[in-house]
A = this chain, B = another copy of it.
Amino acid sequence: MAKQETWFTEYQTDALSLGLRIRQILLAEETPYQHLLVAETETYGRLLALDGAIQTTLQDEFVYHEMITHVPLFMLDAPKKVAVIGGGDGGSIREILKHASVEEAHLVEIDARVVEAARRFFPELSSALDDSRAHVHIENGIDWVKTARAFDVIIVDSTDPIGAAAGLFEPAFYQSIAAALKPDGILVAQSESPFLHQGLIQQMIRGMKTAFEVVRPYVAPVPTYPSGYWSFLMASHRPLTPSPRCRSEAISTRYWTPEMQSAAFVLPRFLEELVT
């Protein structure tokens, strides 16, 4: 009998691909915004892809979700109101709710089908959305943020800067976020790969500097994202130093540690030079 294998292949660029052998496709549909795929991979467990780009796998999502949330939240002594723009899988909300001070965690996802797929296929991430402190808004983040006020942290947990997400990388959006934050509030955005998207990182920093005094990049490995190495940008109106809570409040994590809170900001020389 002939050998048969099924693979999911993401063309991360037109010259770079990541292939994952899969056991089963669980869902494949066109939503009003994008193509949505859920599949069971051999290597990284269950996978969610949007327009062919991997958003989350069960085996490596913890790195991304912990680092996009705990690093900004632990800069503050008592974050109360936090919002996530994008991130419909719920993974970021799950991490945010680990902080005892948090009273409201808002998820602003444009595509209801992503949240529905997460509720059905990723309970490990989405069950956090049932917490009484979690509020789900099915809405365009760019519109939502215009009337949002008094947030401690706003997290831009977006897809790549194409299609519906392009506006999430624009200066005007960062200015809206600045208005939606408390004076000592913090913006964090995923900012793609330091190896593959250097122009975008520089453009995002320039955009954030139109609205914030301080912009600081940090890094973490995410195996299923292009190049396996990812960056985040943190912006605020004041110098960013970890809260003492970072060592006193014990939370359950698999990547983040109190030492990583600082080490993640130690950049490779090429990235240091790129961002200064």
Contacts and interface: CB of A to CB of B under 8 A. Distances in A.
A78 to B, nearest CB: 24
Given A15-B20, A15-B43, A257 B229 contact: no
Task: Report which residue of A41, A228, A257, A269 has the largest number of chain B beta carbons within 10 angstroms of its beta carbon.
Answer: A228
Contacts of A228: 221, 223, 227-229
Contacts of A219: 221
Interface stretch (A85-93, A101-109, A248-256): A248-256
Contacts of A262: 266
Interface in A129-145: none
A11 to B, nearest CB: 8
A63 B223 CA distance: 16
A13 B266 CA distance: 31
Interface in A19-36: 19-21
Interface of A: 7, 9, 13-21, 41-43, 59-60, 63, 195-196, 219, 221, 223, 227-229, 253-257, 259-260, 262-263, 266-270, 272
The 3 A-B pairs at the shortest CB distance, nearest first, are namely A228-B228, A17-B19, A15-B42
